[in-house]
A = this chain, B = another copy of it.
């Protein structure tokens, strides 16, 4: 298969971890006889310095002309200190999601057996935890109208959803549940929000076309509690943008580290793959960032293109690195391996 891949390293440790992903994809190319071309583009703080904005047109065009996008991480200490700045690196990411209509953010949460001790939760609590969050990514309060009164004393954000926005991601989530343990949990606040009531109505209707999937509902406050008390009850979770942001970060904490979790943002025309974790600017250039989340994101990408054997090869190589403790110091404080060495090991084992 030929794939044109846009490579957006972004800020912080993004470029470093992404470099390990490319090593792995080169290995997949060789072993399985594919042809991948990589083209780099700027986004985030690095783009602000070069182009005066976090998402220059050339980057959007590069993405549109590619089959797939690999994304690193975004954000620097400088901008984190001032979240109210008019122009911020994150806007590049939000704009890209919106322009490419990457409406479904997919975040699998799975506890690696070798890493049970990393979790803040007790062993019996996390036993068997393996769920996927489908977070709506291009609607809701993130993109609704924002207002600030002239005198600066009243602010507002509008949360809006249409049937169409709900239905397209709902179909993705139901299909995923059908191929898994056949349970879908819609998380909302239907006892308070009008948008949540629309979500419930639309998702219930769509559920009729997936009779094999058990559909259940949970209020978001209860969900946050359940995710701590009984995370292994979930199979596929479907939720709106803001709730998904909160719950997927909470979910990532179950694993005790974000350094392992991949994610995909999918639309009808484009697909982007990125590690779950942030830009970790403190670690930039130190060869200590864990590349596994980024590498597992390429495994999600390979699956997305139907290259399941290739995807498994990547996952197996990652498992091996963990079993052999060829890992970064976040997983093993005594480890002498850095970002690069872990990347080399995994690529060599594909």
Which residues in A have some Cβ–Cβ distance to B below 8 Å?
Answer: 83-84, 88, 90, 94, 119-122, 125, 141-142, 144, 146-148, 152-164, 189-198, 200-201, 217, 219-222, 224-229, 242-243, 245-250, 252-254, 256, 258
Say whether A83 contacts B225, CB under 8 Å: no
Report whether B198 and A142 are in contact in the complex, using a CB–CB cutoff of 8 Å.
no
Given contacts A192-B94, A200-B84, A228-B254, contact A153 B163 (CB under 8 A): yes
This chain's copy number in the assembly: 2
Contacting pair A83 B224 (CB below 8 A): no
* Chain B residues near A201 (CB-CB < 8 A): 84, 152
Beta-carbon nearest neighbor of A230 in chain B = B120
Identify 6 new A-B residue pairs, CB closer than 8 A, beyond the known A156-B195, A221-B249: A83-B197, A144-B156, A147-B194, A153-B163, A154-B162, A246-B246
Q: Which residues of B are found within 8 Å of A161, using beta-carbon distances?
A: 154-156
Q: Are A194 and B146 in contact (CB under 8 A)?
A: yes
Give CA–CA (A153, B202) in the complex, Å.
9
Q: Which of B154, B162, B193, B200 contacts A157 (CB 8 A)?
A: B193
Complex Cα–Cα for A270 and B93 (A): 45
A193 and B146 form a contact (CB under 8 A): yes
- A194–B228 Cα distance when bound, in Å, is 30
Asked if residues B157 and A153 are in contact (CB atoms below 8 Å), the reply is no
* C-alpha spacing A189/B153, complex, angstroms: 18
Contact check, A158 vs B158: say whether CB atoms are below 8 A apart: yes
Residues of B within 8 A of A192 (CB): 90, 94, 141-142
Instruction: Assess whether B197 is in contact with A242, with CB atoms less than 8 Å apart.
Output: no
Query: What residue of chain B has the Cβ atom nearest to residue A221's Cβ?
Result: B249
Question: Which one of B94, B164, B195 lies within 8 Å of A155 (CB-CB)?
Answer: B195
| Closest B residue to A190 using CB positions | B83
Question: Could you say which residues of chain B place their CB within 8 Å of the CB of A147?
Answer: 194
Instruction: Using A84-B190, A121-B122 as known contacts, say yes or no to A228 and B245 having CB atoms under 8 A apart.
Output: no
A sample of 28 inter-chain contacts (CB < 8 A) reads A83-B197, A88-B191, A90-B191, A120-B121, A141-B141, A141-B193, A146-B194, A148-B197, A153-B162, A154-B161, A154-B163, A155-B194, A155-B197, A155-B198, A156-B195, A157-B159, A157-B194, A158-B158, A220-B245, A220-B246, A224-B246, A224-B253, A225-B253, A225-B258, A228-B253, A228-B254, A229-B256, A246-B246
Complex interface: chain B residues within 8 A of A148 (CB):
194, 197-198
User: In the assembled complex, how far is the CB of residue A87 from the closest CB belonging to chain B, in whole angstroms?
Assistant: 12
CB distance from A165 to the nearest CB of B (A): 9
Contact B157 A195 (CB under 8 A): yes
A83 partner, pick from B159, B200, B229, beta carbons under 8 A: B200
CB of A94 to closest CB in B, whole Å: 7
> Which residues does chain B contribute within 8 Å of A119, judged by CB atoms?
122
Whether the Cβ atoms of B197 and A224 lie closer than 8 Å is: no
Instruction: List B contacts of A258 (CB < 8 A).
Output: 225
With the chains together, A222 CA to B253 CA distance in Å?
10
Please name the 8 residue pairs, one residue from A and one from B, whose CB atoms are nearest each other, closest first.
A83-B190, A221-B249, A155-B198, A228-B253, A224-B250, A146-B194, A156-B160, A153-B163
